[in-house]
Amino acid sequence: QSYIPESFGRRSRAIETKKTLQEMKTKFLLFEDKASKGCQIQLNLPDTLQECGFNSSLPLVMIIHGWTVDGKLENWIWQMVAALKSQPAQPVNVGLADWIPLAHQHYTIAVRNTRLVGQEVAALLQWLEESVSLSPSNVHLIGYSLGAHVSGFAGSYMGRKHKIGRITGLDAAGPLFEGASPSDRLSPDDANFVDAIHTFTREHMGLSVGIKQPIAHYDFYPNGGSFQPGCHFLELYKHIAEHGLQAITQTIKCAHERSVHLFMDSLLHTSMQSTAYLCSDMDSFLQGRCLSCKKGRCNTLGYHVRQQPHGKSKKLFLLTRAQSPFKVYHYQFKIQFVNQTEKPIEPTFTMSLLGTKEEMQRIPITLGEGITSNKTYSFLITLDLDIGELVMIKFKWENSAVWANVWNTVQTIIPWGAEPCCHTGLLLKTIRVKAGETQQRMTFCSENKDDPQLYPTQEKIFVKCEVNTKKSKRKIR
């Protein structure tokens, strides 16, 4: 039920002079339930809040859309409303800032309009604060694309004394904002806590659709942020058949809008929250070197993010699946090889992982370079399933038939002497593992300690090392 306090009738003179003389260009809708298509609330008309079921004792989450090509509200908006409304443990007022007439313009004009819309959002929030005592700290703005910068402008118009609680930027627009000063785009100063998800920073026709630079307290870069699995340009031909000339738009939209779906996923799959990790860049992340959660180095992507504002923007990385639920489980593997041949070897390996819950078979491992001598390799592996605690690794040297035939010929024909193959192949000492989601570290040793050699087409079983507990506790950097 709606709850409107007795002090409701009070109005701000400052807002009256600013806004009652001109008609608001932004339409504000409130959603009573997840099936609702919205009820319009109007500045300085208290009855509209009552009619639309506004509850001033609950927080307000307001969605702000971006630039539009066709002048229509996109489907994801209704999905987001439903996802926010389906949180019985955390009931909220859900609103939408509909600025379609100002967004359905040439892009540069729509960009110019973002400040006006931000001002109108701020005017509404100030009115709610003064008329129904809704503290701005209980407001969460979720802005997509240009809407992310609208949210930022709204926050800056509110000022420091009436700071908005949280702003989430979903793939904030890049063109005309990349490299801009903090006052001209979304920035950490605009709310008590700002988080951003970057999903399509790859350049298209000289411009990146989403902004690359950090703009928040926590900036999340799923899959590196440049593109998303399932949204490759290889899909373009399929999209041409389905959408005709809209194909390129659809292909770009897939990665750009992925930010929205990752955020909704955190609402719809509360038991499968995605963890992201502080890292300098994607290359380091893919080596598995960034799976630490110490001192706030990891955080939860989406609605349930841990809100810890700090001075400098933190860049966090993670991998995801191509569809919902997007969560994967991150592991770092460190393997030390000794090449006992004189020539570099460029093998392909597979690993099968046996956990207490599930088994994942034949995961391909590519080292990216030849094994020349004694070297330790570090790489990231992700699993779609929670396999539980890892208890066994099956490591196999996969090779082409040609390699195998050569190997067999060498073994049978060439007279190696009394001890054939004693200085050939690879020596595989230990496999060290760190699980990102549980922060557990493990060291695995060959089940057959008398034969550490690994040959083409051979599979070796590794189990947790029984001795050397100090070694298993050693940090994986």
Mean pLDDT over 326-339 rounds to 94
Kindly write down the DSSP assignment for every residue of 224-237, as one continuous string.
TSS--TT--GGGHH
Residues 181-217: tens digit of each pLDDT: 999 999 999 999 999 999 999 875 566 799 999 999 9
Q: What does the pLDDT read at residue 15?
A: 41
Neighbouring-strand partners of residue 94 = 31, 61
Amino acid identity for residue 223 in this structure: N
Predicted local confidence at residue 344, as pLDDT: 79
User: In this predicted model, what pLDDT tens digit does every residue of 5-34 receive, in sequence order?
Assistant: 433 333 333 444 344 435 789 999 999 887
Q: How many CA atoms lie within 13 A of 243 on its CB side?
A: 14
What pLDDT does residue 44 have? 92
Residue 301 CA to residue 404 CA, distance in Å, equals 45
The answer to whether the predicted template modeling score (pTM) of the entire model surpasses 0.85 is yes
pLDDT tens per residue across span 282-312: 999 999 999 999 988 999 999 999 998 888 8
Tell me which range, 20-29, 249-258, 376-385, is most confidently predicted by mean pLDDT.
376-385
Query: Quick one: pLDDT at residue 366?
Result: 81
Catalytic residue numbers read 145, 171, 256
CATH class of 329-473: mainly beta
Q: Do domains 6-318 and 329-473 have the same CATH topology?
A: no
Give the pLDDT of residue 268.
96
224-234 pLDDT, tens digit each: 999 899 887 65
- β-strand pairing of 218-222 with 314-318: parallel
Q: What's the mean pLDDT in 136-148?
A: 98
185 is in an annotated binding site: yes
Residue 221 has pLDDT above 80, yes or no: yes
Largest distance between two CA atoms of the chain: 100
Measured distance CA(303)–CA(142) in Å, rounded:
10
| Tens digits of residue pLDDT in 273-283 | 999 999 999 99
Mean pLDDT, rounded, of the chain: 86
Q: How confident is the model at residue 240 (pLDDT cuts 50, 70, 90)?
A: low
CA-CA distance, 194 to 192, in Å (whole number)?
7
Segments making up each domain of the chain, as ranges: 6-318, 329-473
CB neighbours (10 Å) of residue 25?
13
The C-alpha torsion from 393 through 394 and 397 to 399, rounded to 10°, is -120
Alpha helices for 319-475 (secondary structure H):
401-413, 469-473
Other Cβ atoms within 10 Å of 274 Cβ, number: 24
The residues near 340 (Cβ < 8 Å, ≥ 6 apart) are 423, 424, 425, 426, 427, 453
Query: According to the model, what pLDDT value does residue 175 have?
Result: 94
Calpha distance 58→126 (Å, rounded): 16
Provide the CATH number for the domain formed by 6-318 in this structure.
Answer: 3.40.50.1820
What DSSP designation does 273 have?
P
Per-residue pLDDT at 420: 43
281 is in an annotated binding site: no
95: left (phi over 0), alpha (psi -120 to 50) or beta: beta
Residue type, 346: E
Q: Which residues are paired to 382 by β-bridges?
A: 330
